[in-house]
Structure 1
Amino acid sequence: NVEAVIDVEEIGAARSQQSASMPAPGHPEPRKPDRLGPPSAVLLIVTWSMPGVFIRLVGGLPDAEILAWRVSIAFAVLAPAVLLVRRWRTALFNALRHPASLGISAFMFGYFALAVMTYRHLPVAIGALIISTSPVWVLILRSYFEHRPSRRELCGVASALVGVAMCILPRLANGSDWPGNAFAGAALATGAALCSAGFVYSRSRTRDSARAVPAPVAATVTCAFGLPVLLWLVVLGDGLAAAAFDARGWMLLIGLGAFSTALPTLAYSIVSSRLSSLVTAMLNLLVPLASGIAAAIILKEIPSAWTIPGGVLVLTGIWLVSTGGSRPIRPRL
């Protein structure tokens, strides 16, 4: 998911800037243990792995209302955090003045919408695996506009696509009991991965310009879109079904919006600035695995035998794409 998407080049650039500000090799400073990075990485994996579980547990709400509550609650958590950090607050006001920033956030909102619908049709582990292929689609975009993919990256694309096919096709052959339509779920998950890739690629194109915004700021702008959706449901729709929820239902919605949307965004901003780009990229590989474990424990969704080798191929492909080199070409934009 977008909160699970890792722009390795962006992280690498941040790490390079951090290294440039460090003392010269002849005058090293004692390195203090990083007490914030590793716990943030653990929090990142746990929170990133839970959206599918929360969406399935919420149950009877319409997809549009789940989406609206998810991003609105996340906005209520993110907005105060962004306003409290001076750098983020300045970036937020700058982003609101640039229509391009709002356009980039539209990709993220599209991801949120498609992800909600994905988990209505696919098991959580399968949906998370397909959505996690967003680095593959980022590579495809960059291979057209910026660089020629290396053989390593091409092997990664092939591995990821074969792995997805191994996870989906057996469902069509044996009619196993999945929550919904496998074709629809695969299409929605692929759309979510494409939106996620569009968000990452667009942000990477504006990273060195005045339009560049930190991830928490971009997420805050995106989640603000949920407020008019809620208003639309109240004024023009059939009202809010969540009004009849008990305490458990509201806790699930808060968990989806705060725990699985806002917290991973903040944790990611910490992890990407404190851990190496390679370690941060590896965290992306652990999210589908953690999602599958959470779904097996909470939802009793036991993956099929085909999911394991298919998942290995998908994760291997993502790893190859995330760590592969490429040759620059003349940009087409």
Structure 2
Amino acid sequence: MALRIAVMGASGNAGRELLQVLSERGVRGDAVIPLATGRAVGGQVSFGEDDVLDLGDLDRFDFAGVDLAYCVLPERDAKAACTRAAAAGAAVVDLSGAFRHDPAVPMVAADVNPQALDKLAGRIVATPQVTTLMLSQALAPIHDAFSVLRCVATVVLPVSTYGRGAMDELFNQTRGIFVNEPITSNQSEFAKQIAFNVIPAVGGFEKGGATGEEQATAQEIFKMFGADLACTVNAAMVPVFVGQGAFVNIECEDGFNEDQLRAVWRKDEGISVVDHRQEQGVVTPAETHGEDNLYISRVRADTSADNAASFWLCGDNLRRQAINAARVGELLAARFSQPGTA
């Protein structure tokens, strides 16, 4: 019997990408209930190549009979919706961030720590934010092989991190510059100009000077790897629609060489190493659009410290998040389908 699946926040970019991934993974359109709020209710979303689904009203929806619910709502709206779905008996995968730092809620990256589901006490599972998801996938096999002690990541995020409104702002500012429109006429999502610019702060400022994105990533890496792996993150917003990248520096307890790093990553089916020391021998965020894998380039020794290296990683931020959510949902559904886990 097919699972009955609800997607809360299905009208946004991340929700639509999740619907696409679910269809690719064999979920039938008649098993999926896309839900939205506000003006999006009553509209339609595509599902796979042929299906078009009607957007239901999340506020009025009864979750009774739903087996699995994905939450792609803004964080401010997610906790109440997830709690309501779980109370009705659904297993919930939350992508919003509302539960990421709740010690009672496991945070799961399917490629990195699926065993975290063993600590599940309720019906809600959180997934990491995209920066953590990509960084942890690159770190995990190296940590297993050489014991990573410290990681410093400088992350460049696309505007799709903030949703459709941010993408529209980049488009409108870019167009407006060419027709001499003032930036302020197309500025609501970002405090600074985003077109032809780099904004060195993503999220509000926290105590100590880190931004929300930086602090959240460091905290999530700690939650996944523990105190043995120290992590510092720098984050900037760049004028790119989709596709995220990061330069990463690592220091390890055990010695290694560049070839050993590449060999470890190549054993992971979800990682593609494209590292040729020529102009076309690297992967850029634009080239990852629509791709499932995480890409690694620019692998080299860091001579400023012992047992250290630097590398570049990038991937499709929307797709990486959706694939992880779908896989976590599959693991969660399988767990609740076992006798004695209802």
TM-score range, shorter chain: under 0.3
Larger RCO (alpha carbons 8 Å, 6+ apart): 1
| More strand by percentage | 2
| More helix by percentage | 1
TM-score (norm 2): 0.23
TM-score (norm 1): 0.23
